[in-house]
Amino acid sequence: MRESIPSFLRHLEHDHAPRTIATYRMHLDAFAAFVTDVGDGHRPSARVDIEAFLSRPLVSGNRRAPSARNQALAALRAFFRFAVRENIVPFDPTEGVPLAREAPRDPPVLSIGETRQLFTTAAEMSRSGLRARNIAIVAILSQAGLRVHELVALDVDQVDVVSATVVDVKGKGGTRADIPLDAGTLSLITAWIGERQAEPGERALFVAQHGRRLSIRAVQYFFERLREQMGTSKRVSPHTMRHTAATLSIALGTDLVTVASLLRHSDLNTTRRYIHLVDTQRREAVHRLATTIPASLLEPPPIADNVVPIRPNVGLTESQELRVSPRRKPPCVERGFYDEEAA
């Protein structure tokens, strides 16, 4: 198996981000070492090997998180499907191995106010030569919802100023799409292009101080510093901005199908999870508004001594029934607050 890993990783270079390839390499190397330790390393891997590898404990003795297990299984599935197609192995041992169920988690999302603060903080903490670049990065991630590997892969000639579009963006799975830009984001990107200083022949839209293409790690580190400067307890990363773009778009009235198209989700259910976040925010807003109602108006009206409350399934004596007049309206009706049709 080990000797087939390099050819598989070269195969991935056409359709996958460098970060994904590095992750797959890590899991495949770990699996190759595992089967060598537990067996002779030459026989074809079986399903029992896959399940034993996925269920192995951490060095600390703790169980691995479901997300880590699923990530390793995804790498193994991709490799063995490739290996079967290339006649490297006779069968796929990952077939039938289920993914672990992960507890649903709400992704971190910034509010409109926090997003504005992010722009302000990026402007204040950046040196003059990098200020335009850093603001443009925040803009294209938060407004267009690009993934970080899509951002750093952009070239200058992909920005079409006339149509306000970033053309031919290479996404997950080898997909390509044109991404529309709003006027503010286009203005910030154009300002950066006017200041951009790159090495001769460098096509990258976003470059580092040395004039070469910006790395994913550099963008991640920039957002770590942004979070520290903002002083927020929320996680603020490049991918947080993608979640924020989706959630705020839905909150501001964009329909689900359009948001899915903008984010290039292959499954509408991926986009649907943001509805829960929007609904939660709306409910929280309503609950905050409820504090403006005077508490005195929310107290139930006192019950008169000579009136017996009508309660279901509780028998009343004949004298008690006579004291409850069927024609008398409740106090709230007499005060004009009761809608009989609605009731």
What confidence score (pLDDT) does residue 325 get?
41
pLDDT of residue 134: 93
Q: Do domains 2-85 and 112-288 have the same CATH topology?
A: no
Q: What's the pLDDT at 342?
A: 36
Coil, helix or strand for 309? coil
Collapse the DSSP code of 158 into the 3-class scheme (helix H, G, I; strand E, B; otherwise coil) and give the result.
helix
pLDDT for res 317: 46
Give the model's pLDDT for residue 322: 39
Per DSSP, 56 falls in state P
204 three-state secondary structure: strand
The amino acid sitting at 25 is: R
**What is the per-residue pLDDT for 227?**
92
Query: Which ranges of 39-111 does DSSP label H, i.e. alpha helix?
Result: 47-55, 66-85
Fold of 2-85: DNA polymerase; domain 1 (1.10.150)
- Where are the chain's structural domains? 2-85, 112-288
Among 208, 210, 201, which Cα is nearest to 130's? 208
Chain segment 50-79, per-residue pLDDT in tens: 999 999 888 888 888 888 899 999 999 999
Task: Output the six-digit token pair for 153.
Answer: 């892969």
Residue with tokens 């200041």: 195
Q: Identify the CA nearest to 159 among candidates 126, 191, 116.
A: 191
Q: How many CB atoms lie within 10 A of CB 204?
A: 18
CB 35 within 8 Å of CB 45: yes
For position 274, what pLDDT does the model report? 65
* C-alpha to C-alpha distance for 237 and 220, rounded to whole angstroms: 6
For the chain, give the percent of residues with pLDDT over 90.
28
Q: Would you identify the CATH topology of the domain 112-288? A: hpI Integrase; Chain A (1.10.443)
Residue among 167, 158, 160 nearest 203 (CA): 158
Partners of residue 213 on adjacent β-strands: 207
Q: Report pLDDT for 300.
A: 61
Answer for the pair 35, 1: CB distance below 8 angstroms, yes or no: yes
Per-run averaged pLDDT (10 residues), the chain, 343 residues: 86 81 91 75 77 88 86 92 90 89 73 89 87 92 87 92 87 78 89 91 92 92 92 88 83 75 69 64 58 62 51 45 41 36 34
177 forms bridges with which residues in the sheet? Answer: 169
**Nearest of 226, 45, 232 to residue 137 by alpha carbon:** 226
Give φ, ψ of 249 to 5 degrees: -60, -45
Distance in angstroms (rounded) separating the CA atoms of residues 129 and 211: 12
* 250 contact partners, CB below 8 Å, separation of at least 6: 256, 259, 274, 275, 278
Q: So what's the pLDDT on residue 233?
A: 85
- Which amino acid, one-letter code, is at 48? V
Alpha carbon distance 329, 289 (integer Å):
31
| Per-residue model confidence (pLDDT) at position 12 | 86
Query: How far apart (Å, rounded) are the C-alpha atoms in residues 102 and 34?
Result: 25
pTM over 0.85: no
